[in-house]
Structure 1
Amino acid sequence: MTRLARLRRSLLELFPERHLYVRSGGEMKGYVLTPKTQMIVAAGISAAALWMGVCSAAMLVNMLSASSADREVARTQAKYERWIADRQARLNTAVAELNAGGGSNTALAANIEKRHVALAMLLTDMKGAPGAAAALTPVIDKVAASSDRDPAHIVAAVTASQEQLLDAADSFAKSRADRLRLAFRLAGLTPAAYMPQGGALGGPLIETKDPRALAAVLDVDENFAERIQHAANDMSEAHALESAAQSLPFAKPTPEAERSSSFGVRVDPFTGRPAFHSGQDFSGSRMEAIHATAPGVVSFTGVRNGYGNTVEVDHGRGLKTRYAHLAAISVVVGQQVALGQRLGGMGSTGRSTGTHLHYEVWLNGRAMNPDRFLKAGDYVQQAE
């Protein structure tokens, strides 16, 4: 109590009652500044000063961080400049060896041939991949169109074309893998969960994890082998994700119908109150064909409370799709269905205000947003 009394006296001495007089237009007005008012104003000024100090410190930290980022960019740029200079030096050495004649020609030709063998293995892995031909053909045509007959120029052109072809293949494989990974994440799925168990991917170019070992196997330089392996890794992952995507409900249940009510909270058309809508509605005409959005096994057909005539398909990995309010059902329980197979016709059975399809996607017993799977399907098609 004594300390509090002393503190109170100190504050009163620091902020005594003050009187402020203002004269305006021949009139005098007086204002009383109580100790409490002065303390509040002082606290506000202190808070503002503290805030300005914090902001100034934050700006200083950001400036220092930007400087660090600039230094990192400069280091990266220097690294790539050294790499480009190294590539140019190797090419100049190859041309010099060719011009010198003798046995070096044979060694240089053998080195180019070994690189071609490694590239051929990579391109074989890409054979048949949608979009690969469009991505790689321009580079191949550019080399084939060359009419230069000078041996030194031919070697230089072939060596450069190998680098360009490898860059194009690597870019294509990475873009394809990234787009498929994005499609899985859009659907709320983890791409790694749909890769081969243990992360094991097939292909002779990626069986050896160490690029130095692969370089020894292919008998090419380590840098070239590492780039070959990187592209092969991306391509193998893209193959695995594309294969997994074929078994996931990424397709549309009725391509021609328009989407109406979406997944989430909406106003219930019967009660007029907010209610959770666990699927995506598609409006259309009676008996319009309803298709399976992925291959699977029919796990239920019949009437469900509120859903009317319903078909449910089990796609494995905890995924299930539900098609409700059907006018007719075309499949039976236990039947294997393929992607796009007709399951029934659109109707208005059950708790429905008009002809439409109510479509649901379930993962491990939980309703998912079907629209995310439909968008994922669009990304998969773009990857193709």
Structure 2
Amino acid sequence: MTKQTTEGRSLMGRWFPTRYVYLRDGDDVRAWALTPARQFVGALGAVLIGGWFLVASGGFAFDLVMQSQADRTVARARAASERLNADLQARLDSAVVRMTATTGSLDEMAQMVERRHAALTQVMGMFRGVDGAQAALAPAPSLDPSDHTPVQRMLAVRMDQERLIARAETVAQTRAERLRLAFRLAGLNPSAYAPTSGAGLGGPLVQARDPRALAAVLDVDEPFAVRIRNAADNLSDMRGLADAAETMPFHRPTPGQTTSGFGVRFDPFNRHPALHQGQDFAGGLNTPIHATAPGIVSFVGVRSGYGNTVEIDHGRGFKTRYAHLNSMAVRPGQRIALGQRLGAMGTTGRSTGVHLHYEVWMNGRPQNPARFLRAGDQLVQQD
């Protein structure tokens, strides 16, 4: 027997010394010896059973705690839901009480819907002729009377009125902002070309600037009157800027590529720095040249250095010049439409080859044509 085995048995003997169990039945006595090994096995079994009992009891207690917490959470959520429903019901009851407290109840609501409809009719009439506005501002289909009560139908009409005035505000503001951006790209101040407040609008939208006054004139609630006023203002700006843009030289005179821009450059003849007051476009001989905006022809003839030249007065202080033409197809005093043919590209005057020299003037000063072309591109993108 090894030394380790002897030490192990002696250790077990100290913890679990041999014990005896005696059972006496009359004169008969029986004895059982509880050896250290048997005691160790019994103790190990007791420990395992006790551990299992503790784990099982702890899990059961944990489940009870978690279930209790879940129940409390569900109870709180149910209570919150009940409070929310009660609050909503109270608001609904309050709204019904306010509505029925008036002399008309349903009649009062119907009259309000009718007044709003009359005011909306004025606003929608202002959008007549605006591209895409008719589809964007189309009213929703009415509810089927056989499936909906009169109150439901009136509420649906009122909701549609809210949708329409919101859409009208959005359409007017978006288009007005795009036009303002185009004017800024051209280096112009949009406010200088927008109409004065209320100009071009008819009826009470002109006289009543104060929301309360407008609400009284239109016989609608003040918040609704404010929204109508906002839509009318933006639409007025949009129309004014759109009308002004139609007279501006925002279009290209020819589809050719730019060969020389506005600014200081070296003169192709003497190689000295000189101000180039326009923009050159390349193209073949007799390429058609078109008016970049409507106006009246103010000059047709030969100018020193420019060769055959056509000049158009567009009003508002704007003038355009088309030079080095091979031929001219208009006469002085002639009214010109946008895109109308003015002549053909050439190389007359002080020119090194076939091209169009194009200038834009504002109030007697040359402007960079590229800025106006960028504005025209912006307008094309928004269409």
Name the TM-score, length of structure 2 as normaliser.
Answer: 0.69
**Aligned residues between the structures:** 292
2:345 and 2:289 map into 1 onto residues whose CA distance is: 7
1:166 aligns with 2:165: yes
1:243 aligns with 2:248: no
List gaps (5 residues or longer) in structure 2: 1-89
Cα shift readout 1:302-340 (whole Å, capped 9, x = no counterpart): 111221111111112221100011000111222221221
The answer to whether the 8 Å contact 2:324/2:355 transfers is yes
| Equivalent residue number for residue 122 of structure 1 | 123
SS at 1:121 equivalent: helix
2:362 and 2:372 map into 1 onto residues whose CA distance is: 12
The answer to whether the 8 Å contact 1:91/1:156 transfers is no
| Equivalent residue number for residue 320 of structure 2 | 321
The answer to whether the 8 Å contact 2:198/2:236 transfers is no
| Equivalent residue number for residue 176 of structure 1 | 175
The answer to whether the 8 Å contact 2:294/2:314 transfers is yes
| Equivalent residue number for residue 45 of structure 1 | none
Aligned partner letter, 1:127: R
2:201 and 2:236 map into 1 onto residues whose CA distance is: 7
1:348 aligns with 2:350: no
1:379 aligns with 2:378: yes
Distance 1:263 1:199, change over 3 A: farther
| Equivalent residue number for residue 219 of structure 2 | 219
| Equivalent residue number for residue 231 of structure 2 | 231
Cα shift readout 1:140-183 (whole Å, capped 9, x = no counterpart): 34x55889624343333222221111111101101111111222
Identity %: 55
1:288 and 1:146 map into 2 onto residues whose CA distance is: 62
Cα shift readout 1:35-90 (whole Å, capped 9, x = no counterpart): xxxxxxxxxxxxxxxxxxxxxxxxxxxxxxxxxxxxxxxxxxxxxxxxxxxxxx99
Residue range with higher mean Cα deviation, 182-191 or 225-234: 182-191
Q: How far did residue 268 of structure 1 move?
A: 3.1
Distance 1:199 1:213, change over 3 A: closer
The answer to whether the 8 Å contact 2:359/2:367 transfers is yes
Q: How far did residue 99 of structure 1 move?
A: 8.5
Aligned partner letter, 2:232: A
Counterparts of 1:260-339 in structure 2, within 5 Å, are 260-339=259-338
Distance 1:319 1:223, change over 3 A: same
1:277 and 1:286 map into 2 onto residues whose CA distance is: 22
1:153 and 1:225 map into 2 onto residues whose CA distance is: 24
Cα shift readout 1:83-116 (whole Å, capped 9, x = no counterpart): xxxxxx9998666677999931111111011111
The answer to whether the 8 Å contact 2:198/2:233 transfers is no
Distance 1:130 1:321, change over 3 A: same
1:136 aligns with 2:165: no
The answer to whether the 8 Å contact 1:262/1:280 transfers is yes
| Equivalent residue number for residue 29 of structure 2 | none
SS at 2:326 equivalent: strand
Residue range with higher mean Cα deviation, 353-362 or 256-265: 256-265
| Equivalent residue number for residue 5 of structure 2 | none
Distance 1:233 1:203, change over 3 A: farther
SS at 2:137 equivalent: helix
The answer to whether the 8 Å contact 1:282/1:357 transfers is yes
CA RMSD for the aligned pairs?
A: 2.7
